[in-house]
Amino acid sequence: MTLPELLLISPPDYQTREFRGAQPLGIAYLAAALRAAGMAAELLDANLGGPMPLEQVTQQVSRFVAGVRQRGGRPAVGISMVSQVVDTVAALAEHIKAADPQALVIVGGYHPTFADREILEDYPAIDLCVRGEGEQTIVELMQHWQQAATGQPDLSRPSVSVPPSSSQSPSAPCREGVFPVDWGHILGVTWRQGEEIVVNPSRPNNTALDALPFPARDLLPPLQAYAPYADTVAGKMRLKASMISSRGCPFHCNFCAIIAFYGDAGGMAWRGRSVDNVVAEMVELAERDGASHFEFQDDNFFVQPKRALAIVQQYAATGRDFSFAFLTRPDQVVKGERYFPALRQAGLRYVSVGIESGSDASLVRMVKQTGVEVNRRALEILHNNDVAAQVEFIMFEPGSLLEDLQANLHFIEQQGLFGYFPPLVFTCLLLMPGTPARSQMEQERGLTGNIHQVLPYDFIDPQVTEVFQLLNDFRRRLGDPWYELAFKLLDGLPALEIGLQQEQAAASGSISPRHLAQLKLEFFALTRIPYQLLREGLDLVAQGQSLAERPELLAKAEAELAEVSRRVQLLLPPVS
């Protein structure tokens, strides 16, 4: 195996408050593919334990680049890029080029798939964009990079070159100062040829997912370094492993980037790994890494309920103790109702379910192809089967009217979600690059904006704007202390509960059940605050009052936050 010449980075995300950290599987899949092809890579997860300061990331990158140079190699750095981290990645790329102008800077993932040309136009420090799935592309890129650097013939290069999709002249060296390489034969790559940007044809979606090596998790920090799952059903903390058992989704929600991500390459929208292949990875994760909670991060794990059940039942047949969770849609929960008793029996603890709205009109506008009644049934089925629902919600969307907000809040109240954390009331449809909603707003409203940013829009109903503003003010003024306390309790309570269960088993009760019950009530008192604010704001606006003239609403929320914080401080010491 050659020495590592490539550093793959999952860059720090300073924007997303709810970002809690999990092993970044994208770069781990790339490293595994490289390893299978006889090449090595180093991985850097810059979100472990919170976003790493940029200075620290650049120090690590500088060390890597200098190390490769010392060995006489030519460094390359690959960075994952969702639309949230464009500025950070641009700064990082500039740093890399400043340290070594001939280092190769590659970006891949969602944003480069939708904004490849614009990235190369706007960020000269980035050399290449990889569109779509990256395993085969990164292998071909690194083979070609190494061959080009050493002057050896490139064996990965096809004898007949693939016709480019955009107009371009035959291969010519890259612009000055950058090591000249012709990338014209590699599918799924957008690159610079002199002053021209060349968009190579897309790489078809991988339909043989079983052939992919399992993600190279050994190159990432161990599972112990990430937040565990507090399984209060089994009364134990479990090491949690994320997994991807399938790719793509056959639906078309207009706020989702999945379709454009895989659609660019054409081919099947949804592709699943075989049951045997998924179970083999679970066994490896259990044996090598000690995982006993599996979170299936597939876009939509429940497209084939029979397959989903077969995976967990086959794994259960190995005799291992485990729990699991997955992401899906409410209509699939309803269609797959009969599978839930067996899924629960196998260890299902929670399902992340795309409820999105309590308003049928909003659901239609978001092309969700569900309905409020389906949403209600899905939550009922989960509840009846003792499976927790992780609710995905979009409180505000471009077409929201006051009545849609009323319907949303009514649904939240009816379903016992008043106080749900992370807060449903702050959620807003983001016109992210690659989403049909963004293209629709560009066409219908003539909106234009920087592709590297979420496209701003106005609500059509000015009363909705007023309510939105009130919640934004809450987040701006009180967000930091409110989130800090909420996360402290969210993380602490299940651990305390398990501690209590275990201590009771050992007949020594240093944690009082009364304290725990009080803390749970305080958590609820805390998380209700923004919901209550929305309720009061909505009622006033519906009565025709202006929220700009009601500063006491926020003052009341602030006082409640201070009061809950004070009570929590009094409760925490005896149990911490």
Contact string 130-149 vs ligand B12 (x = CB under 6 A): x--xxx-xx-----------
76's contact among ligand SF4, ligand B12, none, with CB below 5 to 8 A by partner kind, is none
Cα separation, 155 vs 264, whole angstroms: 28
Closest CA to 277 of 329, 339, 325, 215: 215
Q: Is residue 410 within 8 Å of 402, Cβ to Cβ?
A: no
Q: Residue 434 interacts with ligand B12 (CB under 6 A)? A: yes
* Least distance (Å) between residue 137 CB and ligand B12: 6
564's contact among ligand SF4, ligand B12, none, with CB below 5 to 8 A by partner kind, is none
Q: Which is nearer to ligand B12, 75 or 385 (CB)?
A: 75
State which amino acid sits at residue 178: V
Of the candidates 193, 300, 359, 415, which one interacts with ligand SF4 according to CB under 6 A?
A: 300
80's contact among ligand B12, ligand SF4, none, with CB below 5 to 8 A by partner kind, is ligand B12
Q: Which is nearer to ligand SF4, 300 or 527 (CB)?
A: 300
Q: Residue 423 interacts with ligand B12 (CB under 6 A)? A: no
Q: Residue 80 interacts with ligand B12 (CB under 6 A)? A: yes
What is residue 394's DSSP assignment? -
Q: Residue 253 interacts with ligand SF4 (CB under 6 A)? A: yes
Order the strands of the 189-193 sheet from edge to edge.
41-45, 6-10, 76-80, 104-108, 128-130, 189-193, 196-199
249's contact among ligand SF4, ligand B12, none, with CB below 5 to 8 A by partner kind, is ligand SF4
Q: Residue 333 interacts with ligand SF4 (CB under 6 A)? A: no
Cα separation, 163 vs 427, whole angstroms: 44
Q: Residue 108 interacts with ligand B12 (CB under 6 A)? A: yes
Q: Is residue 220 within 8 Å of 24, Cβ to Cβ?
A: yes
Cα separation, 463 vs 201, whole angstroms: 47
Contact string 43-72 vs ligand B12 (x = CB under 6 A): ----x-------------------------
Of the candidates 198, 256, 389, 428, which one interacts with ligand SF4 according to CB under 6 A?
A: 256
Q: Is residue 34 within 8 Å of 138, Cβ to Cβ?
A: yes
214's contact among ligand B12, ligand SF4, none, with CB below 5 to 8 A by partner kind, is none
Cα separation, 400 vs 425, whole angstroms: 13
Of the candidates 7, 90, 239, 258, which one interacts with ligand B12 according to CB under 6 A?
A: 258
Q: Is residue 229 within 8 Å of 237, Cβ to Cβ?
A: yes
What is residue 329's DSSP assignment? -
Q: How far is CA 3 from CA 76, 464, 509, in A?
A: 12, 57, 54
Helix (H, G, I), strand (E, B) or coil at 430: coil
Q: Is residue 366 within 8 Å of 393, Cβ to Cβ?
A: no
* Least distance (Å) between residue 530 CB and ligand SF4: 24
Q: Residue 407 interacts with ligand B12 (CB under 6 A)? A: no
Q: What angle do CA 331, 337, 340 make, to 5 degrees?
A: 125
Q: Residue 109 interacts with ligand B12 (CB under 6 A)? A: yes
Residue with tokens 């503003």: 469
Rounded-to-10 torsion of CA 375, 377, 382, 384 = 160
* Least distance (Å) between residue 454 CB and ligand SF4: 17
490's contact among ligand B12, ligand SF4, none, with CB below 5 to 8 A by partner kind, is none
Closest CA to 302 of 204, 210, 378, 222: 378
Closest CA to 291 of 493, 57, 22, 509: 22
Q: Residue 83 interacts with ligand B12 (CB under 6 A)? A: yes
Using the contact rule CB under 6 A, the part of the chain among 117-125, 211-219, 246-254, 556-564 near ligand SF4 is 246-254
Cα separation, 357 vs 396, whole angstroms: 9
Using the contact rule CB under 6 A, the part of the chain among 247-255, 482-490, 501-509, 534-542 near ligand SF4 is 247-255
Q: Residue 437 interacts with ligand SF4 (CB under 6 A)? A: no
Cα separation, 431 vs 459, whole angstroms: 13
Q: Which is nearer to ligand SF4, 231 or 299 (CB)?
A: 299
Q: Residue 4 interacts with ligand B12 (CB under 6 A)? A: no
Contact string 337-376 vs ligand SF4 (x = CB under 6 A): -----------------x----------------------
Cα separation, 45 vs 57, whole angstroms: 10
253's contact among ligand B12, ligand SF4, none, with CB below 5 to 8 A by partner kind, is ligand SF4
Using the contact rule CB under 6 A, the part of the chain among 16-24, 264-272, 362-370, 520-528 near ligand B12 is 16-24
Residue with tokens 């992780």: 390
Q: Is residue 350 within 8 Å of 390, Cβ to Cβ?
A: yes
Bridge partners, residue 106, by sequence: 78, 128
Using the contact rule CB under 6 A, the part of the chain among 100-108, 359-367, 456-464, 512-520 near ligand B12 is 100-108
CB hemisphere CA count around 44 (13 angstroms): 23
Using the contact rule CB under 6 A, the part of the chain among 17-25, 131-139, 249-257, 517-525 near ligand SF4 is 249-257
130's contact among ligand SF4, ligand B12, none, with CB below 5 to 8 A by partner kind, is ligand B12
Q: Residue 251 interacts with ligand SF4 (CB under 6 A)? A: yes
As a whole number of Å, the end-to-end CA separation of the chain is 49
* Least distance (Å) between residue 156 CB and ligand SF4: 33
251's contact among ligand B12, ligand SF4, none, with CB below 5 to 8 A by partner kind, is ligand SF4
* Least distance (Å) between residue 199 CB and ligand B12: 16
Cα separation, 26 vs 19, whole angstroms: 16
Q: Is residue 214 within 8 Å of 281, Cβ to Cβ?
A: yes
Q: Residue 264 interacts with ligand B12 (CB under 6 A)? A: no
Cα separation, 77 vs 186, whole angstroms: 18
Q: Residue 256 interacts with ligand B12 (CB under 6 A)? A: yes
Q: Which is nearer to ligand B12, 148 or 498 (CB)?
A: 148
Which positions touch ligand SF4 (CB under 6 A)? 249, 251-253, 256, 258, 299-300, 329, 354
Task: Give the residues lining the site for ligand B12 (CB under 6 A).
Answer: 13, 16, 18-19, 22, 24-26, 29-30, 47, 78-80, 82-85, 106-111, 130, 133-135, 137-138, 244, 256-258, 297-299, 432-434
